[in-house]
Amino acid sequence: MGIFEKMAAEGHEQLILSYDENSNLKALVAIHDSTLGSALGGCRMWPYETEEEAIDDVLRLSFGMTAKSAITRCNHGGGKTLLWGDPETDKTEAYLRAFGRFIEGLKGRVITGTDMGTSFDDFVTVGQETDWLVGLPEYAGGSGNTSVTTAFGVLQGIRAGVRQVFGSDNLADKTVAVQGVGKVGIRLVEHLIDAGCKVIVTDIDENVVQETKQRFPVEAVTPDAIYDVDCDVFAPCAMGGVLNEDSIERLKCRVIAGAANNQLSHPDIGRKLDEKGILFAPDYIVNAGGLIQVADELEGFNWDRAMKKTGDLYDLLLGCFEVAEKENIPPFEAADRIVADRIQKLGRISRIYLPEKS
């Protein structure tokens, strides 16, 4: 498929390639949909094998950001930035500042921040050239680590899912399997233990498993065994694509709600989960706490407001489950419909002519 065919397939608006010979910067910016505002999305750095892989990834990731911003009423469009390079060896001051100048040149059509492969320190350097950044560390005027809000949002996702399936959001007698106890997963474990859950964890990094066991009364299993444990809730907090033909046949849970992006390897898997009576809480709502936090920075950051909006994800999910029931579709499809409807309706208000301010 050609690039324009790929863009047309998911309705992308713009793909920008930037190259700086001096620092060997190769940056890609994708804007999926800017109906609701400037395109907000993190900046990932990865040594893709081919140009095509990089383009596919930036298009896919920016598409997901549109939905996340629209459904959480952050009033931003969806975008994503990629640095095609090796995060261990390619970042120099010139590289990062060249990137900042390209972002500045877009005059706010795109706002970016850290993601996989990029760090707070990198973005303090990028920030010497552009103001169009979010998610900076507190010492540089940002709101700091987003895993606190993200984990709190995932807790709301689990509570909403449990309420939908079991009739009450009391987690005290529930067993939750947490896949990945990194920055978000370990904070989620803390919330779950506080709520009285039995928690089973796994991670490919044995050190973080040991740290989790030392801090909390949890059981641990090997990474592959997490799909077979007896539990009420499965919380994928490691990586995307973990829900596939093989894993969903093994799952014994009634609810799936976790932090990872793009958990469904394919939309058909979401439909199969629904048929099996497993409620899949749409990942882009469940993990939206971090986005809510960085979007709040653009209004002059207020921690209480960001946490309140993250807490509201509970009601947002219940609303989505209600639409799903009414329309007889899985919740992830209901979420997509809510997103499309909001973008379509709000897009139309821009037809109302406003005279220029005198």
Q: Of the two residues 237 and 251, which places its CB atom closer to ligand NAD in the complex?
A: 237
**CB of residue 5 to ligand NAD, shortest distance in Å:** 28
Tokens 């390209």 locate to 102
Query: What SS3 state is found at 1?
Result: coil
Residue pair 17/27 in contact by the 8 Å Cβ criterion: yes
Q: Which two tokens stand for residue 346?
A: 């709000």
Residue 137, Cα to own-chain centre: how many angstroms? 19
Interaction between residue 218 and ligand NAD (CB under 6 A):
no
Position 204 contacts ligand NAD (CB under 6 A): yes
241 belongs to the binding site for ligand NAD (CB under 6 A):
no
Query: Residue 17 CB, nearest distance to ligand NAD (Å)?
Result: 24
Residue (23 or 175) nearer to ligand NAD, CB: 175
Identify the residue among 13, 57, 122, 203 touching ligand NAD (CB under 6 A): 203
* Least distance between ligand NAD and beta carbon 202 (Å): 5
68 is catalytic: no
Cα dihedral angle (222, 224, 225, 230), rounded to 10 degrees? Answer: 130
Count the alpha carbons within 13 Å of 184 in the hemisphere toward its beta carbon: 27
Q: What is the torsion angle, in degrees rounded to the nearest 10, for the CA atoms of residue 269, residue 275, residue 278 and residue 279?
A: 80
Rounded to 5 degrees, what are φ and ψ at 250?
A: -90, -25
Task: Single out the segment in contact with ligand NAD by CB under 6 A; choices: 43-51, 143-151, 190-198, 330-338.
Answer: 143-151
Nearer to ligand NAD, 148 or 343 (CB): 148
Using CB under 6 A, which of 125, 202, 247, 310 touches ligand NAD? 202
Location of structure tokens 């919740």: 331
Task: Print the SS3 string covering 125-153.
Answer: HHCCCCCCECCCCHHHCCCCCCHHHHHHH
Phi, psi of 25 (to 5 degrees): -75, 130
Applying CB under 6 A, does 146 fall inside the site for ligand NAD? yes
Distance CA 318, CA 341 (A): 18
Residues in the chain: 358
> Is residue 182 within the footprint of ligand NAD (CB under 6 A)?
yes
Q: Show the site string, 268-307: x = touches ligand NAD by CB under 6 A, - = not.
A: -------------------x--x-----------------
Contact between 180 and 143 under an 8 Å Cβ cutoff? The reply is no
Distance CA 358, CA 241 (A): 52
Longest dimension (CA), the chain: 66
Least distance to ligand NAD, CB of residue 120, Å:
12
Size of the site for ligand NAD (CB under 6 A): 24
Given phi > 0 = left and psi -120 to 50 = alpha, else beta, which region is 65? alpha
Stretch that binds ligand NAD, among 122-130, 201-209, 273-281, 341-349 (CB under 6 A): 201-209
| Selected catalytic residue, list 26, 68, 80, 91 | 80
What residue is closest to ligand NAD based on CB? Answer: 182
Choose which of 142, 185, 282, 330 interacts with ligand NAD (CB under 6 A).
185
Q: Does 237 bind ligand NAD (CB under 6 A)?
A: yes
Is 147 a residue that touches ligand NAD (CB under 6 A)?
yes
Pick the closer one to ligand NAD by CB: 31 or 286: 286
Binding residues (CB under 6 A) for ligand NAD: these are 146-147, 150, 179-185, 202-205, 208, 223, 237-239, 259-261, 287, 290
Kindly list the catalytic residues.
80
